[in-house]
Structure 1
Amino acid sequence: MITVTTAARQPQAARTATGPGDVGTFRQRLLDGLVASIAADGYRNTTVADIVRRARTSRRTFYEHFASKEACFIALLTDANAELVRHISTSVDPTAAWAVQVRQAIEAWIHSAESAPAITLSWIRDVPSLGAAARDLHRDTMEAFITMVQTLCDTDEWHAIGVGPVPRQLAVMLLGGLRELFASTVEDGGRMTDITEVAVQASIALLGPRTYVPAPP
């Protein structure tokens, strides 16, 4: 899933810390260091030394928080996905017309992904090399997004058009299709904003009122 954490894009001074020994602050500094290094050199060329240099901390501190560069990367993307789910959820007005809600969700997702292209590309190119960790990350990410879609579509506006609980399989089709559309666009050097309308209309078609055709006997 193509995402980027809002917290990682904020200057360190913009976040609140309880003191120099605050564990969360050091962890976030290391994640910020990884973000900066990916933007400058790419994930594959990034080393632990690069991360700690940009975080202005030590290797010892790094290994107190993460077992490896890969573990740090997984933590970054896990936090990023949680932030994206929050961002999309809060960008949708549950009282708006249902089609407007779909547009709000898609635009929020695209804006978040385009705000940090290096991380977006790293999701596409580097995550598959992580093996089992990547599979776990994708599974957890998909579960979070499925829950988000089902929650966003479980409101009076959606019930009024006859849309009940969104089936899990339908949510998987929607999210998988959007993910591949976004990934292929970025890989081909395109802008995600250029495929906003396609993504919105496809999502409306999948989630909106449906006429089911009976299966042949």
Structure 2
Amino acid sequence: MKATVADDAASSAPSDADTFRQRLLDGLAASITERGYRASTVADIVRHARTSKRTFYDQFPSKEQCFLELLHADVGKLAENIRDAVDRDGDWQTQIRQAVEAYVDHIDARPALTLSWIRELPSLDAAARPFQRRGMQLLTSLLVNLSDNPGFQKAGLPPLTRPKAVILIGGLRELTALAVEDGHSVRDIVEPAVEASVAMLGYRH
């Protein structure tokens, strides 16, 4: 990861517990980049975090819970980056490109973490389902809201429906996973993602 939440929050004087918790989250992110989630151990996490197993278990009951919190924070940051990148008064096709570029920029900074979110999170079964639903709801709500802004309204386009938003996000996630798994640049998905999004959102244009 190129940047961490710890960096963003440095000026807010977090408590010692918050600082250790963030260091552990960053430690897991570093270990996922190095070894993948499945191969990562608590020992790997604390090695990257430069702390102890005792500190880890003071903060998290398990590696799984640390993973879920890390992904929750990452999906939230992804949504924030997309939201901030889009000019809501701009041309609707330009907005789509801005959103896709922001998505790809975020993924490109942490491909291993994104791949673990797409491929390894579902293997956690029941523990992962509430997180998966929250993450999908966050991203689909974002797309529905963005497609109902002034730029889309000026073009006479209706807001994206939630089912179509789910299809769009699901397709984009799979395209991302295939690119990372095949060792391709994540930038390669920009044009097909833009074209598919324009086709789906602009069907009445």
TM-score, length-scaled by structure 1: 0.86
| Secondary structure of residue in 2 paired with 1:162 | coil
Counterpart of 1:7 in structure 2 is: 4
CA change 1:90–1:75 in 2 (3 A) is: same
Deviation string for 1:82-134 (max 9, x for gaps)?
00000010011112111000000001101110112221232234223211122
Unaligned runs of 5+ in 2: none
On the 8 A contact 1:34/1:73 being kept in 2, the answer is yes
1:18 aligns with 2:18: no
Instruction: After TM superposition, give the deviation of residue 33 of structure 1 in Å.
Output: 0.8
On the 8 A contact 1:178/1:199 being kept in 2, the answer is yes
- Whose helix proportion is higher, 1 or 2? 2
On the 8 A contact 1:5/1:84 being kept in 2, the answer is no
The CA RMSD measured in Å over matched residues stands at 2.2
CA distance in 1, matches of 2:134, 2:9: 29
On the 8 A contact 1:110/1:193 being kept in 2, the answer is yes
| Secondary structure of residue in 2 paired with 1:43 | coil
CA distance in 2, matches of 1:5, 1:71: 23
Q: Which has the higher contact order (CA 8 A, sep 6+)?
A: 1
Deviation string for 1:183-208 (max 9, x for gaps)?
12222222221121110010011011
CA distance in 2, matches of 1:160, 1:5: 37
1:57 aligns with 2:51: yes
On the 8 A contact 1:5/1:81 being kept in 2, the answer is no
TM-score, length-scaled by structure 2: 0.90
| Secondary structure of residue in 1 paired with 2:90 | coil
Counterpart of 1:178 in structure 2 is: 172
CA change 1:14–1:150 in 2 (3 A) is: closer
Aligned length: 205
CA distance in 2, matches of 1:169, 1:120: 23
Q: Pick the aligned partner of 1:92 from 79, 86, 91.
A: 86
Q: Which one has a bigger Cα radius of gyration?
A: 1
Instruction: After TM superposition, give the deviation of residue 152 of structure 1 in Å.
Output: 1.0
1:106 aligns with 2:100: yes
Aligned residue type for 1:149:
L
On the 8 A contact 2:24/2:45 being kept in 1, the answer is yes
Instruction: After TM superposition, give the deviation of residue 50 of structure 1 in Å.
Output: 1.7
Unaligned runs of 5+ in 1: 212-217
